[in-house]
Each structure stands twice: as C-alpha cells, then as structure tokens.
Amino acid sequence: MSSVLRIALQKSGRLSEDSYQLFKECGIRFDYGTGKLKSVSSNFPAEFLFLRDDDIPGYVEDGVADLGIVGENVAVEMGRPVQTIHKLGFSKCRLSIAVPRGTDWTGIQHLEGKNIATSYPNLLGNYLAEQGVRAEIHEISGSVEIAPSIGLAEAVCDIVSSGSTLLSNGLKEVETIFRSEAILIARPDLDSEKQALADKLLFRIKSVQAAKNNKYIVLNAPNHALDQITALLPGMKSPTVTPLATTGWSSVHSVLNENEFWENIEAIRAAGAEGILVIPIEKMIY
Ligand code: PRT
Ligand code: ZN
C-alpha cells in the first residue's frame, strides 16, 4: 500500500487561511470549510486533519499526524519532541512583556517579586531565569491583557502583533522575549516513503517561497552600460542579454531578490537602463 502523508492544520484561526493558501500555491488540492474535520487531497498523497492549534504538536508527537503547521510560540512552549522542518514566514508575531502605561520601567529587574500573567509559562519562566529575575508567573489561558486592570498581575506576557490590544488595555510593551512565525513540524520517525513525500512537499514550499522573495526584471540598456547593469543583476546563473532592433541597445532579463530590489533598481536606472518591467514570479525552481 502506498503511503499517504497526514498533515494537521489549524481548523479556523490566525494560521488557517495562509496554511490553506500555501498548499494551493504548491498545487495541492483539498476541500476545507465549515464542519470539516478531515479531507483527502485529490492530486497529492495527503490527508488533512483540521484541529485546534494547541493540539497539533501533540498529534504530531503521537504520530496521529506526520506533519503539522503551528506557531513556533506554541511548539516551543509545549516542548514536544517534534522536529521543525521549515519556517513558513506567515503569522508572524512576538511574545512580549507589557506593563501598565504609567509604569516607570527601568528594565527587566523591575519585575523582581512581581506577578506576571501569561499563557506561556515555560517561555516566560526560561527568559526570567536567564535574566536572573524571580517573579510569580500566573498561568491563564485567555484575555491575558486584562489581568493588570483587575488586579491579578502587575505585568503580562502575551502575543503581540500590531500592538493595538495592548494599547486599548492601557498597557505598554517593554521587552520582547520571543519572535514567532508559522512553522512546519514533523514527527521525528517518518518512514522512508513518508519522508520522500515530505521532501517533495518541502521542495514545492521552497519553490513557492523563493518565487515570492524574487521578481523577474526586464529592461532596455545601452550597450556601453551593459557591464555595469548586469553586475547589479546577478540572476539565477547570469542575466540574459539579447540585442534590440535599435542599434546600440540590448534587452536584459534577470531575477532580483525582493530585499535588494529598491536599492538596486535605483542604481540600475542611474546606469542608464530604460523601460524597466518588474514581474511577479509564480514558482522558482533551483
Ligand atoms: O482556536 P485555536 O485554539 O485553534 O486558535 P487560537 O485562538 O488559540 O489561536 P489564534 O488563531 O489566535 O493564533 C494562532 C497563532 O497565530 C498563534 O499561536 C501565533 O503563532 C499566531 N499569531 C499571530 C497570533 C497573533 N498574530 C495575535 N495577534 N496569535 C494571537 N494573537 C492575539 C494575541 O494573543 C492578542 O490577544 O492577538 C492579540 C494581539 O494582537 P494585536 O494585533 O492587537 O497586537
Ligand atoms: Zn489555540
């Protein structure tokens, strides 16, 4: 019998849409939506389980699922023996300590002997221990941000994204203790058939991510500036240069990393390039 990868995804929450979108971009089709707990892909040997995010590391550890997508914050907090096989770049957030806005914050030592409310007692406990601070950790499972206003704690340690939840609860962020994003986790003992399928999936994910991080660029360049311009456009191997119908001009095609894009584009224009087109790439295979 040939293997089927079982992949655990968050049913509905901050990880779900981007997870579903990632598989779509990898060309892996499956149905999801209201009430569905399981779905089999119609074109890849995979079965999807839709779960609460907190349950995913445990299901992967127990081997009920082979792979899962979960926030790094949840995976590290739970400390399950699963392996992180890839960072996915979405659902980015940070775990931060926050205190009432009027607090005269002088540094982490301010928390000595104080009460801190959090849903992340392990991450917070480790951080405080590293910093040599002894504080009382109150583990609560939700609405952490209201703890100071109801007198439960003097500080909180919670997930922050835009910061607006802290702001509307009269709190200010004073220390970031962990940065998180969605990660792909795997059980440590995948058999060789499942490992091969996981590798195939990972190859697709990397191709999709590489495409997102790069742009295809087409421009016209005067021949005398070709050396200077192509040096700014290394491309996957080297840029493609073809002559234009107009004498003394060439068309240059290449790939440019998103991070270097604006910096290089100015230098490329300054070197004499014209008619620059920047085109999104759908997949990029190395
Ligand atoms: O129902 P289920 O248990 O599956 O989901 P959940 O409600 O436990 O988790 P969910 O969907 O809220 O978050 C899933 C994962 O998304 C988290 O584990 C993080 O890895 C990541 N993530 C990214 C976030 C946020 N951004 C985020 N902003 N998780 C939570 N928040 C919350 C935070 O707890 C706080 O209440 O949003 C509020 C802060 O947001 P800002 O924008 O106001 O700062
Ligand atoms: Zn949850």
Backbone angles phi, psi at 268, to 5 degrees: -65, -40
Q: Is the model's pLDDT at 42 over the cut of 70?
A: yes
Q: What whole-number distance in Å separates Cα of residue 60 and Cα of residue 9?
A: 11
Q: Which range (18-27, 42-51, 77-86, 256-265) has the least confidence? A: 256-265
Tokens standing for residue 96: 């931060």
CA of 72 to the centre of ligand 2 (A): 12
Q: Which among 256, 281, 201, 215 is positioned nearest to 22, based on CA atoms?
A: 201
Residue 131 contacts residue 118 (beta carbons within 8 Å): no
Cβ 250 under 6 angstroms from ligand 1: no
Nearest CA to ligand 1 atom 34: 159
Q: Which among 61, 70, 23 is positioned nearest to 43, based on CA atoms?
A: 23
Please, is 284 exposed, middle or buried when counting C-beta atoms within 10 Å of its C-beta (0-12, 13-18, 19+)?
A: middle
Q: How confident is the model at residue 261 (pLDDT cuts 50, 70, 90)?
A: confident
Helices and strands counted in the chain (H then E) = 8, 15
Q: What whole-number distance in Å separates Cα of residue 156 and Cα of residue 175?
A: 11
* pLDDT computed for residue 137 by the predictor: 98
pTM of the entire predicted model: 0.92
**pLDDT above 90 as % of the chain:** 93
Residue 262 or 203, more confident: 203
* pLDDT computed for residue 21 by the predictor: 97
Side-chain-side CA neighbours of 256 within 13 Å: the count stands at 27
Tell me which of 9, 16, 53 to substitute to probe ligand 1's pocket, judged by most ligand atoms within 8 Å of the beta carbon: 53
Tell me which of 56, 161, 169, 179 to substitute to probe ligand 1's pocket, judged by most ligand atoms within 8 Å of the beta carbon: 161
Q: Is the model's pLDDT at 184 over the cut of 90?
A: yes
Q: What whole-number distance in Å separates Cα of residue 256 and Cα of residue 196?
A: 31
Residues contacting residue 120 through CB under 8 Å, at least 6 positions apart: 73, 77, 95, 157, 158, 178
* pLDDT computed for residue 1 by the predictor: 53
CA of 91 to the centre of ligand 1 (A): 8
Cβ 52 under 6 angstroms from ligand 1: yes
Cβ 163 under 6 angstroms from ligand 1: yes
Tell me which of 93, 141, 167, 183 to substitute to probe ligand 1's pocket, judged by most ligand atoms within 8 Å of the beta carbon: 93
